[in-house]
Structure 1
Amino acid sequence: MRLSPLRDMNPAQARLRDRLVQRRGGVHGPFQVLVRSPGPGGRLEELSTSCMRDSALPPRLRELTLLTVARRLDAQHSWLAHVDKGREAGLDPAALDRLAHGREPGFTRHDERVLHRFADQALAEHFVDDVTYEAALAEFGEECLVDLVIALGTFTSLALILNTFQVDLEPDTAPPFPDVAGFHRVPREDAPS
């Protein structure tokens, strides 16, 4: 990690650390960074928890949202922390493997295809076309669609924190993306020349 170990915490940092230990079993991943800024960092942690626990989206689609952001932003730490949760929630392991490898995932469930297309378009293009928006609205309704966009922004913030501050993978962990080494992109073997 680019940041030095946090040794002397002020009271607000210590309170956030204690909350993270109680809620998450420790200070891991992006929360190692967020504890340094307990005001906004604490609120971002609360929002991320809400996105994963309180969203109108079902758990399977919450995990798909996070994994789509993780792959789009090359957030390996997020991917590894959630890919098994996604499988347990019912996401197709083969589709997740294709997504990790930068290929079209080919989700078989309609709601997963709609969500992935919507999220990927929002993240890549920064806009969502009318056809994709209408399909997502018809599939999910207004509340879920708002929750989806909030989750996209929240998970994007966490991915940026992980990558900017270079929060390392756990030791002896294989990187999940073949086109990312450490915190740099590498040429893909299957990329056109």
Structure 2
Amino acid sequence: MSQMPPDPDPDRGSPAAKPPRLPTPRLAALRDPAAFDPAQHAMWESVVSGPRAATAVRPEGQLSGPFDVLLRSPQIGTAVSDLGALLRFSTSLGPRLTEVVTLTVASHWHARLAWSGHAKGARAQGIPESAIERVARGEDPAFKSPSDHAAWSVAHALVTTGHVSDDLYAAAISVLGERTLVEVVALTGYYCLTSFLLNTFEVPVSHGVTTPWDPPAE
């Protein structure tokens, strides 16, 4: 198996200490399409009719993920939705590598909602629970698949340092090829954007769902 070199500075860019409380939504959920303007209607339809349709609307009635937030800027929201659908469902990565990258980003930023959904997706793709737990701790998940390891190594290097070293680049391109490496980098950036939206506006996980960064139960 091709070995990925270690990150040059794994601590740089680490998120702040674990928040002492669970997120509290900072925006009121938008659940009434009758009150939307035309741009909001167009965005809503682009989300609920696309490849994520089965999970597009939360049980409470608002759009899932960052998309309820993005209804405040629907032109950007539609573009983000379209880009996300392309990166998640229409690349050479396939579902497994997509989940590897997404978990790596969500873990670094402690993006609880992204983590909760994609940890479930990772399990469905056969990613071992031990690897998921190591990703949550920011540790090398010790993937046996060269492709899994390359995708994790690149995403982890990007979120922790913002760079990919020459040695890591050479190793990753030999495993993934040019197209897939471009898509790993693009997906990493997309989920950084998603994580920032979820964290800034404190979009909560569903009731009863826990994540590795929840405060201790009192």
> TM-score normalised by the shorter chain: which range applies?
0.7 to 0.9
Query: What residue ranges of structure 1 are gaps of 5+ in the alignment?
Result: 187-193
Matches within 5 A, 1:14-163: 14-23=41-50, 24=53, 25-26=56-57, 27-163=63-199
TM-score, length basis structure 1: 0.87
Tell me the SS of whatever aligns to 1:91: coil
Partner residue, 2:26: 2
Corresponding residue pairs, total? 180
Give the corresponding residue for 1:177: 212
Q: What is the CA-CA distance between 1:116 and the residue it aligns to?
A: 1.1
Higher relative contact order (Cα pairs below 8 Å, separated by 6+ residues): 2
**Amino acid paired to 1:82:** H
Contact 2:88-2:98 within 8 A present in 1 as well: yes
1-structure distance, mates of 2:41, 2:82: 16
- Separation in structure 1 between the aligned mates of residue 208 and residue 126 of structure 2, nearest angstrom: 27
Task: Describe the superposition over 1:12-35 as per-residue Cα deviations: whole angstroms up to 9, x where unpaired.
Answer: 102211332233242112111112
Q: Deviation of residue 149 (structure 1)?
A: 0.8
Please give the alpha-carbon distance, in whole angstroms, between the structure 1 residues aligned to 2:135 and 2:204.
21
Report the CA distance between 1:79 and its aligned residue. Answer: 0.8
CA-CA distance at 1:101 after TM superposition: 3.3
Identity of aligned residues (%): 30
Deviation of 1:129 after TM superposition, in Å, equals: 0.6
Letter in 1 for 2:27: L
Q: TM-score with structure 2 length normalisation?
A: 0.77
CA distance in 1, matches of 2:157, 2:183: 16
Deviation at 1:118, TM superposition (A): 1.3
Q: Deviations over 1:53-110 (max 9, x none)?
A: 1111122101111111100111110011111211212322210022223433222222
CA contact (8 A) 2:154 2:184 kept: no
* Counterpart Cα distance in 2 of 1:110 and 1:20: 34
Moved more, 133-142 or 94-103: 94-103
